[in-house]
Structure 1
Amino acid sequence: MKKPLFPRRPNEPTPGGLFIAQMLWLLAGVLFLGFGGFLVHEHTQQSTMGFAVIALIILFAAAGLACCVLGYRLFTGDRAARTQLSWVGLITALPLLLRFGRYSILAAIIMFSVVLMWMPASNKYFKIVDPKPAKPRR
């Protein structure tokens, strides 16, 4: 069965924690893009853009786009988006939390969103909205 390009939101009521996580993921995507734009602005003023700065700008842009796209898919009830956002969150938030002081609020938002997505109410929601396919018997 082919999924539509812009799927509709399920009729099942969304748990409060999952709704907060959905909004926080969209906020995190916007913050990633904003921090990347700020780095571009900051380093074009100084005319010193090294490899590390360019790599960080690319990482922020990719993470921001991934958070926005996967946050929308999470909003439509896609179970795979929850798993992908968990991986994106762990891969991007742990280094930000451990190393960069300026971006630690973004890392805290992401880690909080990951925890909210895996709460028991969210698990029940995804079992109803997007259940796992049955395993074939041998």
Structure 2
Amino acid sequence: MPRRPDEPVPGGLQIAQFLWLLAGVLFLGFGGFLIYEHIDDASLNFGAVALALFFAAAGCACGVLGYRLFMGQRSARANLTWLGVITAVPLLMRFGRYSLLAAIVMFCVALMWIPSSNRYFKIVSPKPAKRKR
């Protein structure tokens, strides 16, 4: 089982780690509430089910990748950046009620790429050396 690095984690990255786990819970909660909202109707429409599945997948991915970020894996930071951009930009542009969640996700992405976080990942999870051809 992987261990958390002994290197002290910068404050911004600690906040991002916590907020990614919170975002995962919020995604799952919004997906569940969306199904609950539409369960009273005679039938669930395709859009509500698709959005609930999207929220469930994003919530699970945020949880797993947030844990990997907590363990100091550089690849988790890259995957969370893509996940954040792919999920937050459409939510920020279109859905008014989910814009707070999108703002949290975009704030997390920004916190993962500040200079102190970059230094932390260079120490904890350095890039492999390039091979000479």
What TM-score, normalized by structure 1, do the two folds share?
0.95
TM alignment of 1:57-96, pairs within 5 A: 57-96=52-91
Which residue matches 1:107?
Answer: 102
Counterpart residue identity of residue 125, structure 1 = Y
TM alignment of 1:1-138, pairs within 5 A: 4=1, 7-138=2-133
User: Residues 70-118 of structure 1, C-alpha deviation per residue, up to 9 Å, x if partnerless?
Assistant: 0000000000000000000000000000000000000000000000000
Q: Secondary structure at the match of 2:5?
A: coil
Q: What are the ranges of 5 or more consecutive residues in structure 1 without an aligned counterpart?
A: none
Query: Root-mean-square deviation (CA), in Å?
Result: 0.7
Q: Cα offset for 1:46?
A: 2.3
Report the Cα distance in structure 2 between the residues aligned to 1:120 and 1:17, rounded to whole angstroms: 10
Aligned residues: 133
Report the Cα distance in structure 1 between the residues aligned to 2:3 and 2:104, rounded to whole angstroms: 26
Counterpart residue identity of residue 118, structure 1 = W
Report the Cα distance in structure 1 between the residues aligned to 2:11 and 2:40, rounded to whole angstroms: 43
Report the Cα distance in structure 1 between the residues aligned to 2:92 and 2:64, rounded to whole angstroms: 23
Q: Kindly report structure 1 stretches of 4+ aligned residues shifted beyond 6 Å.
A: none
Identity score, percent: 68
Q: What are the ranges of 5 or more consecutive residues in structure 2 without an aligned counterpart?
A: none
Report the Cα distance in structure 1 between the residues aligned to 2:72 and 2:14, rounded to whole angstroms: 11
